[in-house]
Amino acid sequence: MPRAVEHVVVAGAGIGGAAAALLLARSGARVTLLERVAEPRAVGAGILLQPNGLAVLYGLGLREAIVARARIAREARLADGSGRLLAATPMPDLGGGYDHVAVLRRSHLLVVLFDAVRAEPAIVCRFGCEVTHADREGRVTWRGPAGEEATRADLVVGADGLHSSVRAGGRFDAVSTPGPTYLRGLSRTALSGPMTEYWTAAGIFGAGPVDGATYFYASTAARPLAAALARRDLDALRSRWRGACPAAGAAFDGIDGIDDLLVNQVTRVDCARWYDGRLVLLGDAAHAMAPNLGQGANSALVDAVVLVDALATEADVSAALARYDARRRPAVRRVQDTAAVLARLGEVRPAALRRVRDAVLRLVLPRLGSDRPVRQAQQEDPAWLEATVQRCLDVHRAR
């Protein structure tokens, strides 16, 4: 860690922000964690943690708490609306025991992270504090219970999501591209089998078992679905999905009301650079993407590790941030592009085009026979990620 980095402000206490705060604190920095929500509650539906994200969390010592309530899987499946298999992708052994994914409630993951953050003496948590401005000199202003407050930090980490205030305060040349709206939920209906994504006549639907429920997501790009959502008509959503995909109909049957569904518009964010002066971005603030590779939160966790590693490697803050940008931005751009292609393919709705698409998938995918796409999606070697986190812990213990 450069000597110049003693105090870090992290804006946003989501998955990426909480992990970054822990890693920075355990590398010797004093961290102020600002979160606009006054009483962060364990909210959300489900999350798929892949080997890269698991490596970060396991390295932080959170393996036992996560696995205790996770469904471990070693295969991901793609099917058509009727449930006929299009592709089954086994998770290769990436080394270090990383041969699996974990599906769990997002709320459980957040509780585990918040407990770790609150237990870290080098982190000061300021909940109910919304960042209103940040500049490249490290000055940060926020609005909270005590009114308007400000501080100056040696580094400001923008982990504050799609509408990042930190990003707005710097020169990142960000471009936001809006996409379809997705619904996410936790259904009482128990669905068996591994996490499966269905490419249907109504669009994309995915589901998998979590602790005591079924986590599912569904696109609403098709006009009948978008219209039903606009009317808040759960029955119409159920009916449309039941006709397109029996698994989707069953999942929607386990929802009591429209307010039990989370509504998220997918927006892609591309930045020409991820740092400006003392400002640096990670997670959705830097690279929001389509959810079709399941790499949104996982990529944010990788960001946190690569950032801290760069700070530990370089003596100069600017050099460290440039190193981070050069390593992360191209890798994430490739993941964003792949996720976007999958999103477009999954939303093909004319029957004739779907038949051609599905036939090509069944023909081509088995012939690929390589774990290269899976490894590329991880962006970094999971064993390296875990080892790097452990180095942070070693610094923490030595102090």
Residue 87: predicted pLDDT: 87
Mean pLDDT, all residues of the chain: 93
Residue 165: predicted pLDDT: 97
Residue position matching structure tokens 């079709």: 292
pTM of the model: 0.95
Least confident of 193-197, 279-283, 285-289, 376-380: 193-197
**Domain ranges across the chain:** 7-177+266-398, 185-263
Place 363 in a pLDDT band, splitting at 50, 70 and 90: confident
Residue 190: predicted pLDDT: 87
- pLDDT tens per residue across span 203-261: 999 999 998 899 999 999 999 999 999 999 999 999 999 999 999 999 999 999 999 99
- pLDDT tens per residue across span 63-112: 999 999 999 998 889 999 999 999 888 888 898 889 999 999 999 999 99
Q: What is the mean pLDDT of residues 117-135?
A: 96
What proportion of the chain, given as a percentage, has pLDDT over 90?
Answer: 83
Q: Is the pLDDT of residue 369 over 60?
A: no
Q: Is the pLDDT of residue 58 over 60?
A: yes
Q: Is the pLDDT of residue 41 over 80?
A: no
What is the domain class of 7-177+266-398 according to CATH? alpha beta
